[in-house]
Amino acid sequence: MPRQWIGILRKRTEVGAAVVTILLVIGFTATTEGVWLSNANMREVLRVTSILAMMAFGEALVITTGQIDVSVGSIFGVVGILFLALGPQIGAPLAILIALVAAIAIGAVNGFIVAYFRISPLVVTLGTLFVFRGLAIGATQNPPYYAADNTMRANPIYQIFGSSDVFGYNNALVWAIVTLLFLHYVLFWTPIGNRLLAVGGNAESARSRGVSIMYTKWGAYVACGFFAGLAGILETSDLGYVDGSFGRQRELQAIAAAVLGGCALAGGRSSIVGTFLGAFILSGIQSYLVINSIPPQWFILLLGLIVVLVSLGNRVLTHLLTRLARAEKTKD
Amino acid sequence: MPAVRRFFKRPEATIIIGSALIFLIFTIVDTENWFNFFTIRNITRITAILGLVAIGETLLILVREIDLSVGSVYGLVAIAFISFEPALGVQFSFVAALLMAAAIGLLNAVLVLRGKLSSMIVTLGGLFFYRGVIYVTTGSTARSFPAETTNQWFVQLFGGNWLLGLENGFWWFLFAILIFTYILFSNPYGNHLLAIGGNIESAASRGVSVRSVKTIAFVLCSILAGFAGIISVADEPRLSVTIGQDVELEAIAAAVIGGALLTGGRGSIIGAALGTFFLTAVRSELITLGAPPTWYISFVGFMLVFAAVVNAFIQRRVTGTRTL
Amino acid sequence: MAETRNALIEMKNINLDFGTVNALSDVSVNFYQGELVGLVGDNGAGKTTLIRILSGMYAPTSGEVYFDGQRITRFHPKLAIDLGIETIQQTVGLCDNLSIARNYYLGREPVKRWLGIIPVLDFAKMRESSNKVIRNFGLRDTVNVDDEVALLSGGEGQSFKIGRAVDFRNRVIIMDEPTNHLSVRERAHVNELALQLRDQGLLVIYITHDIFQVHRLADRIVILENGRKVVDILKAEMSAEALEQIIRDGGREASEGTA
C-alpha cells in the first residue's frame, strides 16, 4: 500500500466513517426508491443527526481523554425539562441561560468527582445518570409534561434554537455545523486540543511535560455537559414539549456515534467530523427502518451490534495500519 | 488503634456499618412496618435476586472488568426459560437457558480478551443487543408460565417458599454467598482472581492465566444474572418485556456500595450482599412511607457516587497509597 | 569535603513511602550549579524515585526540598519545568498517538494569532524545532516530524527526548539512563552533550548503573542503595573500581566505613 495512503488512513480517522456514509447513502436510496434521500426525509434525518451529533461531540471530547460519560442522556432530559418548566414563568432567554448553566454545572460535578477524587468515570457518571433521571421523573409527575407557551414560541431567542428553519433545514443543523467547526479547530489547532489528545494517549507522559491532567479531564466533562444540555434545548424547543422519558438511552447513541466516527475508546484518537458522520449513519439507519416499517426494536438491536463491530473494526484497522506504517519506515 | 485500622482495611467495612445503621434506624423509626414478616419476606426475595447479580458483578469488578449487559441477560434467560419449556420440559429448559447465559458470558470474554475491546463497550453493546433480541423475539408481549407449570416441583424449587416461609430464592442466595466466599478466599481460582485485581503483571509473571481467570469470571457473571432471572420468574404470574431493565445499574451500585472499587481491584461478596440489602431496604421503606419512586432512583445514584468516593478515600488512607 | 558555594538544590532527610513500601529513607543530598553529578546504584536503589521528586512527579512523605534557597512546598511537573528543571525519563515523556512535532512543545505549545486574535498552534515552529532535533540526533531519514511517535524505535524516542531536553535547557537537566537503547556513536554524542551542558553552567544529574561510564563524566558521584544514600564524594576521591565494589557489596562497606 502506498505510503501516503497509510499515512492518510492512520491520521484521518474519519475516513472509515466517510466510506460507510457513502455506501449507506447509495444503498439506502436505492432500496427505498429514493424515498430515503428525499428532501422531506433528509430534513428530519439531518435534524435528528444534528441533535445527536451535539451530544456525541461532547462525548467525543470525554472519550478523547480516555474517559466516558454515560450520563449525557440524563443531562439532555433534565436540561430540557428545566428549560420548558421555567420558560413560561421567566421567559425563554433567561430559561435557556439557566438551563445551560445547569448543564455546565452537572458536567462540572461529573468532572470534579472523576478528575479530582480520581473515581472511575463509569461509576460517577452512572450515579449521575441515576440521580438526574430520578429528578427528571420526579419533576414530571405533576404535571406530567411541560410545553412551551405561545409567548415563548414567539420569542426570537427561542426561535434561534430548534424551532425554526434555515432554507427548510432545522436550525439544529446550523448549530451542529458551527459546533463541529469550532471543536475541530479547538481539538486540532490549539494547545488545549493538543493536551486533550496527549492526556488521552499517555496521561503520565503528558503530566511529565507539565500538562495538568486534572484540569484537562475536568474541562472535557464540563464541555460534555454543556453540549448535552444544548442538545436538550434544541430538541425540546423543536418539539415544544418535554416529559420524563426524554434522553433515555441516548447515551449509547452518543457513544456509538463517536466510536463510529473513529474515536478510540481508550483515548488519544479522535475525529469531530467523523463523529458527525457517525451520528448521521445512526440516524440514517433509524430512518431507513421507519421507511421500511421495520419495528423500532430492531434499531436497539442493531445499535448494540454496530457499537461492538465498529469498535472491533477500528481496533484491527489501527493495529494493522501501525504495523504497515512501521514497516514502511524501515524499508527505505 | 490497630484493630480499627484492620477493620477498615476490609472493603466491606463501610457497608457493614451502613447496613447496621439503616437496620437500626428503620427498626426504631418504623418498627411496625419494618419489622414484620411480610416486609422481611419481600426484602429477602428482592435482595436475593438482585444480590445474585451483584455477586457476579463483583467478581468481574475484582479483575477490573464490568458487565453492563446483566440486566438484558437476566431478562433474556428468564424469557428463554419460559419459552423453551413447552418444547424441552422444565428441567432441560432450565439447563438450556443457563447454557445460553454461559455462552453470552463466553462471548463477552472473547471480545474483551481476544478482540482487546474494553468490557464496558462490549457489554454496553450487549445490553442493547440482547434487549433488542427480547423485543424482537417476543413481539412486545411476554407470557409467563401457566399455573400447572408453575406448580411443578422443579419450578417451585426456585420460586416457592419451602423454608420458614421465605422465598427459596433467598436460600439459593445464601448458598451462593457461601460458595463464592469460599471460592474467593480458600480456593486457588479465587486467589488468582484477587492477584490479578491487585497487580496484573506480577500475577501473570507468577503463572496465573489471566485469560482463563477472566473468562471464567465473565461466564459466572452471566450465569448468575441468568439464574437470578429464572428465580424471578419461577413464581411470577406477570411478565413484561422490560424485565431486567436497569438491573445492571442497581447491581453495580450494590457492588460498589458494598466496597468494590472499579479502579483498585477491590471488592467483597459479603459487601455485595449487604449492598443489595441496603438498597432494597431503603427502597422498601421509601415505598412504605409513601415517597415517590423517583426518590429511590436518585438515592441509588447518589449512594453509588458517595460510596465510591468514601471507599476510595478509606482505601487510600488505610493502605497509604500515594497520589501517583 | 565541605562545599562553600550555595547549593542550587538541597534535599534534606527525604523519606518517600508508597503505601507500606519505603522507597527512600532519610536521604540528604545537595546539588550545585555547573556540576555533573552521577547518581548511581543497582536496580531498585531509588535513583528514579529521587529524581522524580525533583521533576515534580512525586511529593516526599517527609523531609525538605530547597531550590535556589526557596523551600518547595508543592510538587507538580509544571512547577519543576517552570523552575528550569528538564527531565529525560525512561518510560514517560512521549505520547505515542501524537506526532513528533506535537510532542516537542507539549505543555508549552507556541501559538500564532490569526487575524490578530484567534490563537492557533504555530505548526511551522513546531515542525522546525523538532526537525532540527531528529536530524541532529541521527533518526532515520524516513522519519518525518509529522509521523506519530508510535512509529519510532526505542532508541529514536530516547534520542528525541534528549534532544528536546537539551533544546529547552534551563538550569537543571536530569537524565535517567539516557544511553539505554543507543548505539555506541549515539552514546558518545549524548555524553559529550552532557559535558557541554555542564560547561555552560547547568546542573546535570546523570543516572546510570554503569559506574565506569559515569566516573569518566562526573564531577561528583552519589550512590544510593535500598533507598538510602551510601556514598557522596568527588570523583577524585575514589576510583571507579572502588565505587563499583561498594555497589556490589550492597553499600555495606561504605555505610560501615563512612563517618
Looking at chain B, the whole-number percentage of residues with pLDDT higher than 90 is 35
pLDDT value at C254 more than 60: no
- What's the whole-number average pLDDT of chain B? 85
Chain C residue with CA closest to A185: the answer is C120
Residue C1: per-residue pLDDT: 43
Give the closest-approach CA distance of A295 to chain B in angstroms: 8
- Residues in B closer than 8 angstroms to A124, CB to CB, are 305, 308
Own/partner pairs, B39-42, CB within 8 angstroms, 24+ separation: B39/B284, B39/B288, B40/B166, B41/B161, B41/B165, B41/B166, B41/B167, B42/B284
Q: C58, B322: Cβ pair inside 8 Å?
A: yes
Q: C18, B323: Cβ pair inside 8 Å?
A: no
- Quick check: A261 and A276 in contact, CB under 8 A? yes
Q: CB neighbours of A283 closer than 8 A, spacing ≥ 6?
A: A45, A46, A48, A49, A52
- What's the whole-number average pLDDT of chain C? 85
Residues in chain B: 324
Q: C18, B321: Cβ pair inside 8 Å?
A: yes
- Residues in C closer than 8 angstroms to B323, CB to CB, are 59
DSSP A120-186: -HHHHHHHHHHHHHHHHHHHTSSSSEEE--HHHHH-HHHIIIII-EETTEEHHHHHHHHHHHHHHHH
pLDDT value at B42 more than 70: yes
Of B115, B120, B133, the CB nearest to A122: B120
Of C17, C57, C58, the CB nearest to B320: C17
pLDDT value at C2 more than 50: no
Count of CB pairs separated by less than 8 Å, A with B: 152
Q: Collapsing DSSP states into helix, strand and coil, what is residue C113?
A: strand
Give the closest-approach CA distance of C100 to chain A in angstroms: 12
Instruction: Specify whether domain C1-84+170-259 bears CATH 3.40.50.300.
Output: yes
Q: C20, B320: Cβ pair inside 8 Å?
A: yes
CB atoms within 10 A of CB A147: 17
Q: Which three cell numbers stand for residue A87?
A: 420558560
- Choose among B143, B161, B182: nearest CA to B269: B182
pLDDT value at B309 more than 80: yes
Class for the domain spanning B13-319: mainly alpha
Q: C19, B324: Cβ pair inside 8 Å?
A: no
- What is the mean predicted confidence (pLDDT) over B6-10? 78
Residue C257: per-residue pLDDT: 44
- Residues in B closer than 8 angstroms to A306, CB to CB, are 125
CB-neighbour burial class of residue A157 (10 A; exposed 0-12, middle 13-18, buried 19+):
middle
pLDDT value at C252 more than 70: no
- What is the mean predicted confidence (pLDDT) over B79-91? 84
Q: A123, B132: Cβ pair inside 8 Å?
A: no
Q: Where are the alpha helices (DSSP H) in C137-173?
A: 154-167
Of A303 and C137, more confident: A303
pLDDT value at C253 more than 70: no
- Quick check: A155 and A93 in contact, CB under 8 A? yes
Residue A9: per-residue pLDDT: 61
Q: Which three cell numbers stand for residue C89?
A: 525519563
Domains of chain B: which residue ranges?
A: 13-319
Domains of chain C: which residue ranges?
A: 1-84+170-259, 96-168
- Quick check: C174 and C85 in contact, CB under 8 A? yes
- What is the mean predicted confidence (pLDDT) over B78-84? 88
Mutate to test the interface with A, among B294, B295, B303 (most CBs of A within 10 A): B294
- C61-84 pLDDT, tens digit each: 889 999 988 899 999 999 999 999
- Residues in C closer than 8 angstroms to B9, CB to CB, are none
CB atoms within 10 A of CB B224: 29
Chain C residue with CA closest to B319: the answer is C19
- Could you say which architecture CATH assigns to the domain A3-331? Orthogonal Bundle (1.10)
- B133-181 pLDDT, tens digit each: 998 888 766 677 676 666 777 777 777 777 777 778 888 899 999 999 9
- Choose among A205, A265, A218, A223: nearest CA to A64: A265
Terminal Cα-to-Cα distance of chain A (whole angstroms): 14
Q: B322, C57: Cβ pair inside 8 Å?
A: no
Of C19, C57, C59, the CB nearest to B319: C19
- Quick check: B275 and B254 in contact, CB under 8 A? yes
Residue B324: per-residue pLDDT: 35
Dist CA B207 CA B211 (whole Å): 11
- C145-184 pLDDT, tens digit each: 888 888 888 888 888 888 888 888 788 999 998 888 788 8
Of B118, B133, B252, the CB nearest to A301: B133
- Residues in B closer than 8 angstroms to C18, CB to CB, are 320-322
Q: What are the distances in angstroms from CA C156 to CA A194, B5, C177, C223?
A: 22, 49, 14, 29
Q: CB neighbours of B263 closer than 8 A, spacing ≥ 6?
A: A118, A119, A120, B64, B312
Residue A47: per-residue pLDDT: 92
Contact of C18 with chain B, judged by CB distance below 8 Å, is answered with: yes
- What is the mean predicted confidence (pLDDT) over C115-129? 90
Contact of C94 with chain A, judged by CB distance below 8 Å, is answered with: yes
Residue C162: per-residue pLDDT: 87
Residue pointed to by grid coordinates 431567542: A157
Render each residue's pLDDT in chain A as its tens digit; 332 residues.
Answer: 566 666 666 666 788 788 888 988 999 888 888 888 888 888 899 999 999 999 999 999 999 999 999 999 999 999 999 998 888 888 888 999 999 999 999 999 999 999 999 999 999 999 999 999 999 988 888 788 888 777 777 778 778 887 778 787 888 899 999 999 999 999 999 999 999 999 999 999 999 999 999 999 999 999 999 999 999 999 998 888 888 888 888 888 999 999 999 898 888 889 999 999 999 999 999 999 998 888 888 898 998 998 898 888 888 887 888 788 777 777 65
Residue C258: per-residue pLDDT: 45
Identify the H or E element spanning C26: strand C21-31
Q: Which three cell numbers stand for residue A121?
A: 468515570
Residue B142: per-residue pLDDT: 66
Of A205, A210, A211, the CB nearest to C94: A205
What pairing do the DSSP bridges indicate for beta strands C21-31 and C9-18? Answer: antiparallel
Domains of chain A: which residue ranges?
A: 3-331
